[in-house]
Structure 1
Amino acid sequence: EYDASVEEALCFGWVDSIIKKIDAEKYARKFTPRKSGSLWSDSNKERVNKMIAEGRMTESGLARIEEAKQSGLWQKSPRADISFEIPEEFERALQQNKEARDFFQQLAPSYQKHYIGWIVVAKRPETREKRIKESIALLTKGEKLGLK
């Protein structure tokens, strides 16, 4: 079960990351030690607060929380600084592809934000460019972004 596996990882100071589809019914989830300087999602903060109250956190898990609190990262929300305005490069790519643009425009706002958020959180310009190309390819085929 997803929640149980994430809680287990968090109690040791680890975090879940990449999801990879194996087949129609199975996914692979990667667990790694939490990096210094990483932001805590609101859902993971809720999970660890619950586990602290239940006495389920280990020393290493508590140390990661304390580190985040000391650095100020605990108080930040990972999505607080994200602008959901369409980036210029993505807008240009949409204007050059009618099928992609039409499908994007008919998506619900939440699905549009999923695409935009995935693009704007890219740290490197080449990653952002790659995500725009992948987005245009999916939109051209009439597909939603999925689990990214």
Structure 2
Amino acid sequence: MSRTTRSTAKRLTRLQTSSPAPIVSPTTTLETKLFATTSAFESYLSTNHSTNTTGLWLKIAKKNSPTPSITYDQALDTALCYGWIDGQRKSHDDSHFIQRFTPRRKGSLWSQRNVNKVAILIAAGRMQPAGQAEIDAAKEDGRWERAYSSSSNATVPEDFQKALDGNEAAGEFWMGLNRTKRYGFIQRLETAKRPETRRKRIEQFVELLATGKTV
């Protein structure tokens, strides 16, 4: 392995450790709660959104469960209104799974999905001061504009595509990747904070792809 390739591998290892997902604590350190309705979860967050700094595991009924509960989408909408965000999901039992919800960490990235969601929540008059404060902070420091796409609707950025077109080996390997593998590259480009960082990542990714490797 050449010195350049080793250097690129080290930089990409650092990139792989960077993720917008919340830090996950062991299940036993968090309370687990089930809310039958959206209003019940709203009531909980209205009282606890600022005092519960570690979050909770939300017990959510599976599709055919006989136990009623709030759905994941309903829970996420409610959480966004109070400045909280979803995290890791785990299996629980035959009828339920658990989803972690926590206060949004300072400086955490926004997904385009959630940017779209809060627009609907604001229009519906559901957004609360705590949730609006997180939106304002993201707009102030540029995170709002850097919201990343989901894997289902992510497209190849023009600057990255141009770089791929300029390297035959990288371009051919890229064409053979599935959507999940491609998203690994696209998400890292979308979350680059500075243009210089983005340019460097494009160079690194093209070099990596040319050798038949992925992030």
Q: Please, which moves more after superposition, 16-25 or 59-68?
A: 16-25
CA distance in 2, matches of 1:21, 1:67: 34
Q: Which residue is equivalent to 1:38?
A: 108
TM-score relative to the length of structure 1: 0.55
- Structure 1 position 9 matched with structure 2 position 79: yes
CA distance in 2, matches of 1:112, 1:36: 29
Q: Residues 8, 108 of structure 1: CA spacing in aligned structure 2 closer, same or farther, 3 A cutoff?
A: same
Q: Secondary structure at the match of 1:28?
A: strand
CA distance in 1, matches of 2:177, 2:97: 26
CA distance in 1, matches of 2:129, 2:136: 10
Identify the structure with bigger relative contact order (alpha carbons < 8 Å, sequence gap 6+).
Answer: 1
**Which structure carries more helix by proportion?**
1
CA distance in 2, matches of 1:110, 1:47: 24
Q: Residues 27, 113 of structure 1: CA spacing in aligned structure 2 closer, same or farther, 3 A cutoff?
A: farther
Q: Which residue is equivalent to 2:128?
A: 58
> 8 Å contact 2:80–2:118 — kept in the other structure?
yes
Deviation digits for residues 20-78 of structure 1 (CA, Å, limit 9, x no counterpart): 11245532101100011111111111110001011100001000000000010011033
Letter in 2 for 1:13: G
Q: Which residue is equivalent to 1:110?
A: 179
Q: Which residue is equivalent to 2:32?
A: none
Task: Name the Cα RMSD after superposition.
Answer: 3.0
Q: Deviation of residue 2 (structure 1)? A: 1.3
Letter in 2 for 1:110: R
- Which 4+ stretches in 1 moved above 3 angstroms? 111-114
Letter in 2 for 1:46: N
Percent identity between the two aligned chains: 37
Structure 1 unmatched ranges of 5 or more: 84-106, 121-148
> 8 Å contact 2:89–2:100 — kept in the other structure?
yes
Larger Rg: 1 or 2? 2
> 8 Å contact 2:115–2:147 — kept in the other structure?
no
How many residues are paired up? 95
Q: Residues 69, 111 of structure 1: CA spacing in aligned structure 2 closer, same or farther, 3 A cutoff?
A: closer
Q: Secondary structure at the match of 2:126?
A: coil
Q: Secondary structure at the match of 1:74?
A: coil
